[in-house]
Structure 1
Amino acid sequence: MTRAEANPLITRLSPPPIPSVHAWGRAYDGRRGPLIDLSQAVPGYPTHPEMLRLLGEAAASPDMTGYGPIEGEPVLRKAYAHHVGAVYEADIGSEHIHITAGCNQAFMSVAIAVAASGDTIALTDPYYFNHQTTLSMLGIDYSLVHCDAANGFLPDLASAETALVAGARALVVVTPNNPTGAVYPKGLLHALFRLCQSHGAWLIVDETYRDFLPEGDARPHALLSEPGWEETLVLLYSFSKSFCIPGHRLGAITAGPALVAEIAKVMDNMQICAPRAPQTAVAWALPILADWRAGNRREIAHRAEVLRKVFADLPEWEIGAIGAYFAFVRHPFAGQSSAAVAERLARQAGVVCIPGSYFGADQENYLRLAFANADAASIALLTDRLR
């Protein structure tokens, strides 16, 4: 009898990374105080009671029990288009919006829509691990664009051009970045856009953490005002962090109507429609929870400042980049793998974080700290734990 085999594109992948680091945390005996979990990027505060009320009302409606439009509920597509238009001072309509079940699904849908098995998509190095594993399981090759640690892990334009000249169908960037936290300057984003446009490639900008940019940035960029943006640009977004609803899985794509139509073909086979109740609830919540979301932005910025002070007292450690939800930190244990360092921190010091190697083979000297998960008092404890 011949044994059936699983898809080798899947079996060659490592297990999901978050459960593995959580297992290290479960082995911690509490000797240094409460566990400080800086691993998965989840909001470190509860959702607003009004958000919960809206979710409950929407979920209780019989209208929400059937299939919805593939591209998303009209009420949310309209509300989010208005929101994006206001943020970027651009003319955006519902036809530019596709709603998905989370931003990971948004990325997978776009990847399938713009590239075929055997094609190449360029990622930054370090990359967000779910982007890399998504491409690998789809049989889409990936090339890496160098991001210099000495330059705050910003992508190198010459390296990006090399990837595009070699035939990459798209370039994927994340800003504010996961894992580094780096915020890409507007000029750099526009240079990458023009580079992709000149090579007939897509620029996919994952803006999951857009709502946690420093206050004072009127708009993150003006890419939606670039001539011909609909033939080059795709923006990805997640409602999970801003509204504290990661379990409800809700994301969004902003793109030209022609690409939205192609993505709808993918979604029809992947999920048919994103969860309907949270779509309706978020459409109502977008305007009325704006002040609460702004307050959360200030709180996360405060936590980042506390983390900076922690590392100012730890000269043997070094922040490579920090912003929005993350800090990418250079550890002082030369010659030791980032996984070994992260496991020891979890088991012995009660600090759970992600090894740098999970974001690329050249990141062994780094750890990712998702500082937004912990309150300021817990972050302050890191001085003693890391020392």
Structure 2
Amino acid sequence: MTRERVSKKMAAIAESATLKVDAKAKALKAEGRPVISYAAGEPDFPTPPHIVDAARAALDDPANFRYTAATGLPELRKAIAEKTKRDSGIEVDPAQIIVTNGGKQAVYMAFQAIINPGDEVILPGPYWTSYPEAIALADGVAVPIYAGADQNYKVTVEQLEAARTERTKAVVFVSPSNPTGAVYNFEETKAIGEWALANGVWVITDEIYQNLTYGGVKAVSIVEAVPELAEQTLLVNGVAKTYAMTGWRLGWMVGPADAIKVAANLQSHLCSNVNNIAQRATIEALTGDTAPIEEMRQAFERRRALIVAELNKVRGFNCPMPEGAFYAYVDVSEVLGTEVAGKTPQTSLELADIILEEAEVAAVPGEAFGPSGYLRFSYALGDEALVEGIQRLQKLFGTK
């Protein structure tokens, strides 16, 4: 009998599109080309000093060199519970929290905790590139639905209901969104929460960008809008984006006791506990000085206005104003099928390749997040590079 050499499930998982584009941009830079990359969702700021100092102090305590609880340090779980009450409007017991190796692991474990083979997960798009793969790894079936620029990239209850079947187990709710920066208002959030509650649908809500909103907008947690939904909601979060701690790999999941229990069992076999130094640093991030955090948020807000204004000057580009995260999601459908630098791109994937080669600008094509016809630009990079890159696009495509 012939056996597969490697796991068919693992072989079916696609490489992260955002990391792939960023790696290609870095490779071209290494060759000496002046590439400006808008690909990675990573703040260009260093981790604030008081957080780094807490990590240094943690190195002096030998207790941090040992195994600790698989679910996380008690002090950190308490700090996360306080943050969850402060920012998500729900009171949770620290026992309802598991600390993970970054937000990605929290997303992965959320699906592992509740999805059985064949269960359907409604996935509003444009969606983060890792969600479909995490659903597949749990043997679930992703059911994508889409909202374009005409809807400000926000799906409706009517779309959710049209996608619901007897096999629907969960819906993914992300506000602010990666890749679009869209933020659902209170009424929109409440309507989706009430729909999920009425239909017995679990909600997996990714709140990692909840503190990065602009123009006075607040990201309302779905459990704050519909408190009764808490028993069928998993909240995933982390410190990577708001606190400029991408490399520290610290995230968490909050949810009902039964889901957290099975996730904790998985983690006990998967990786034991999360790095204790990173956990100690995160305690300081969540409880310490907020001034450096606000300074970074204000910088993102300034860059948001700048990048959207400049992108909308590019011929054929249509970029709604994002209200959160640090991404601009551009509708480039008008450009497709037209000549660009002697070529005629039919997809945003082809267009992104042309832009990289001709303008030495890296952006992530819409295919990474759902339908073709879009490009994602991160504005988590320095002001000077941000402007120069868009000026290259204005030169390549012309201006309106």
TM over 0.5: yes
Deviations 1:178-219 (A, max 9, x none): 111111112111111111111111111101111111263466
1:236 touches 1:253 (CA, 8 Å); kept in 2?
yes
Corresponding residue number in structure 2 for 1:376: 383
Residue 137 (structure 2) pairs with residue 169 (structure 1): no
Distance 1:192 1:222, change over 3 A: closer
Matched residues in 2 for 1:48 and 1:242: separation?
A: 11
TM-superposed CA distance for 1:7, in Å, is 1.6
Q: Which residue number corresponds to residue 141 of structure 1?
A: 141
C-alpha separation between the residues in 1 aligned to 2:227 and 2:52? 40
Give the match's secondary structure for 2:316. Answer: coil
Distance 1:215 1:268, change over 3 A: farther
Q: Distance in 1 between matches of 2:265 and 2:272?
A: 9
Task: After the TM superposition, list the runs of 4 or more consecutive aligned residues in structure 1 that deviate by more than 6 angstroms.
Answer: 28-31
Q: Do the aligned residues in 1 keep the contact of 2:97 with 2:260 (CA within 8 Å)?
A: yes
What are the Cα deviations for residues 161-188 of structure 1, in whole angstroms up to 9, with x where unaligned? 2333342111002111111111111211
Tell me which residue corresponds to 2:335: 333
Task: Name structure 1 gaps, 5 residues minimum.
Answer: none
- One-letter amino acid of the structure 2 residue matched with residue 107 of structure 1: V
3-state DSSP of counterpart to 1:234: strand
Match of 1:366 among 358, 369, 374: 374
Contact 2:37 2:361 in 1 (8 A): yes
Matches within 5 A, 1:160-309: 160-214=160-214, 216-217=216-217, 220-221=220-221, 223-224=223-224, 226-309=226-309
Verify the 8 A CA contact 1:146 1:156 in the aligned structure 2: no
Q: 1:224–1:266: structure 2 CA closer, same or farther, 3 Å change rule?
A: farther
Cα–Cα, structure 1 residues 227 and 18, in superposed 2: closer, same or farther, change >3 Å? closer
Q: Aligned pair in 2 of structure 1 residues 218, 134: CA closer, same or farther (>3 Å)?
A: closer
Match of 1:196, SS?
helix
- In 2, Cα distance between the equivalents of 1:126 and 1:218? 21
CA distance in 2, matches of 1:169, 1:140: 9
Contact 1:24 1:343 in 2 (8 A): no
Counterpart of 2:28 in structure 1 is 27
The structure whose RCO (Cα within 8 Å, separation 6+) is larger is 1
Contact 1:36/1:351 (CA < 8 Å) preserved in 2?
A: yes
1:312, 1:17 → 2: CA distance?
25
| 1:141-179 alpha-carbon deviations (Å, 9 max, x no partner) | 111123243110101211212333342111002111111
Give the deviation of 1:12 after TM superposition. 2.6
The corresponding residue for 2:393 is: 386
Is 1:345 equivalent to 2:355 in the alignment? yes
Q: Which moved more, 1:81-90 or 1:146-155?
A: 81-90
Give 1:30 deviation, angstroms: 6.2
Q: CA deviation at 1:14?
A: 2.9
TM-score (norm 1): 0.91
How far apart, in 1, do the equivalents of 2:377 and 2:218 lie?
27
1:234-293 Cα distance to aligned partner (Å, 9 max, x none): 211121112222112111112223322232122222222222211112112323231111
SS of the aligned residue for 1:235 comes to: strand
Report Cα offsets for 1:7-62 as digits up to 9, x if no partner: 2222233333234323542336767xx42211110011111122222112224432
**2:209, 2:241 within 8 Å by CA — same for their partners in 1?**
yes
Answer whether contact 2:145 2:163 (CA < 8 A) is retained. Answer: yes
Q: Does the aligned pair in 2 maintain the 1:90–1:225 contact within 8 Å?
A: no
Distance 1:225 1:177, change over 3 A: closer
Partner of 1:49: 49
Structure 1 Cα separation of the partners of residues 22 and 88 of structure 2 = 38
Aligned residue for 1:77?
A: 77
- Contact 1:9 1:138 survives alignment (8 Å): no
Give, in whole Å, the separation in 2 of the partners of 1:203 and 1:137: 18
Structure 2 counterpart of 1:125, one-letter code: G
Question: Which deviates the most, 332-341 or 200-209?
Answer: 332-341
Q: CA deviation at 1:111?
A: 0.4
Output aligned runs, 1:5-24, within 5 Å: 5-24=5-24
Quick check: 2:125–2:147 contact (8 Å CA) kept in 1?
A: yes
Is the 1:193–1:232 Cα contact (8 Å) retained in structure 2? no
Distance 2:219 2:369 in 1: 28
Instruction: Give the share of equivalent positions with the same residue, in percent.
Output: 24
Kept in 1: contact 2:176–2:182 (CA 8 A): yes
Aligned residues: 382
TM-score by length of 2: 0.89
Cα deviation 1:277-322 (Å, max 9, x = unaligned): 1111211232323111111111111110111221242242111452
Task: Say if 2:90 and 2:223, in contact at 8 Å, map to a contact too.
Answer: no
- In structure 1, C-alpha distance between the alignment counterparts of 2:85 and 2:232, rounded to whole Å: 18
Tell me the amino acid that sits aligned with residue 335 of structure 2: F
Q: CA deviation at 1:117?
A: 2.1
Is the 1:125–1:146 contact (alpha carbons within 8 Å) kept by the matching residues of 2?
A: yes
